[in-house]
Amino acid sequence: MSAPLISARGVGVRRGERYLVKNADLTLEAGKILTLIGPNGAGKTTLVRSVLGLIRIDEGVIERRADLRIGYMPQRLHIDASLPLTVARFLALGGAPRVELQDILQLTGIAHLQQTTMQSLSGGETQRVLLARALLRDPQLLVLDEPVQGVDVTGQSALYGLINEIRKRRQCGVLLVSHDLHLVMATTDTVVCLNQHVCCHGHPEKVTSDPAYLALFGDTPKPQVAIYTHHHDHQHDAHGNIISHRHSADCEHDHHA
């Protein structure tokens, strides 16, 4: 088995006498999705920035695979309304891509938006453009900070489905930051629940029954969990729309496209 893309052990970050993160562990392998969850102020962003080498840690050890290529998708994007920036131009600002641009446009379902201005995009379209830009570096590690920020409910599961498809096709590791576990349960391999320290970690179904998780988020209604833990058997078109679908008779489904 190859070495992990990233491995963090006992990471601590302080500001004065106060810990932002303390004694945190995190390991991510290629082709896997790890979701970091926690309430606001839990230290999720601090831990991610530490793992990426953007801030200095005060305690612990972080190891990254040599020459690791990282693609980063920010939580939100602010562009001046007076700037006439098209999607094509925005993607070009990232420099020469390591992969074929048209392949990424087709994969993310935004080929038809190239001449659209960034300011006129919907929330879901904007997030897909940001995801496309992160993929142009052909990352081995894809870091997604709240990737469904500003996306309406009907587009969230489609976007998570796309992220899952990307990791399967490109075999990159995905570090996903979220505050809501039930929407990502179907695609996440490992969950790390953070509240300054790691409260619990493991498979999503294990974490949702852990007392530490329940103390932070309360009991997730069982119908919601059932929606995202059954086995799907359907296909999507390039925009995430379901074009065929079969599932067992005793299964509930609330998969919006």
User: In this predicted model, what pLDDT tens digit does every residue of 141-200 receive, in sequence order?
Assistant: 999 998 988 888 878 888 998 999 999 999 999 999 987 777 787 789 999 999 999 999
Q: Give the pLDDT confidence score for residue 33 in this predicted structure.
A: 95
Q: What is the pLDDT of residues 10-40, one digit of tens each?
A: 999 999 989 999 999 999 999 999 999 988 8
**Residue that has been written with the tokens 């990233």 in this structure:** 6
Of the CA atoms within 13 Å of residue 197, those in its CB half-sphere come to 9
Q: Give the pLDDT confidence score for residue 238 in this predicted structure.
A: 44
Domain ranges within the chain, ordered by starting residue: 6-68+140-246
CA 68 to chain centre: 18
Taking a C-beta distance cutoff of 8 angstroms, is the pair 117, 77 a contact? no
Q: Give the pLDDT confidence score for residue 220 in this predicted structure.
A: 53
Q: Give the pLDDT confidence score for residue 1 in this predicted structure.
A: 59
pLDDT at 68 over 90: yes
The model's pTM: 0.80
Q: Give the pLDDT confidence score for residue 253 in this predicted structure.
A: 37
Calculate the dihedral angle through the C-alpha atoms of 237, 152, 38, 65, rounding to the nearest 10 degrees. 40
Q: What is the pLDDT of residues 138-155, one digit of tens each?
A: 999 999 998 988 888 878
Calculate the dihedral angle through the C-alpha atoms of 220, 221, 222, 226, rounding to the nearest 10 degrees. -80
Q: CATH second-level architecture of 6-68+140-246? A: 3-Layer(aba) Sandwich (3.40)
Cα 186 from Cα 165, distance rounded (Å):
12
Q: What is the pLDDT of residues 216-252, one digit of tens each?
A: 887 654 333 333 333 334 444 444 444 444 433 333 3
pLDDT at 257 over 60: no
Give the containing element (helix H, strand E) for 216.
helix 211-217
CA 72 to chain centre: 10
Q: SS3 breakdown of the chain: % helix, strand, coil, rounded to 5?
A: 30, 25, 40
Q: Give the pLDDT confidence score for residue 234 in this predicted structure.
A: 43
Instruction: Identify the bridge partners of residue 192 per DSSP, sorted by sequence position.
Output: 36, 201
Q: Give the pLDDT confidence score for residue 22 in this predicted structure.
A: 95
Q: Give the pLDDT confidence score for residue 15 in this predicted structure.
A: 92
Number of residues that this document lists for the chain: 257
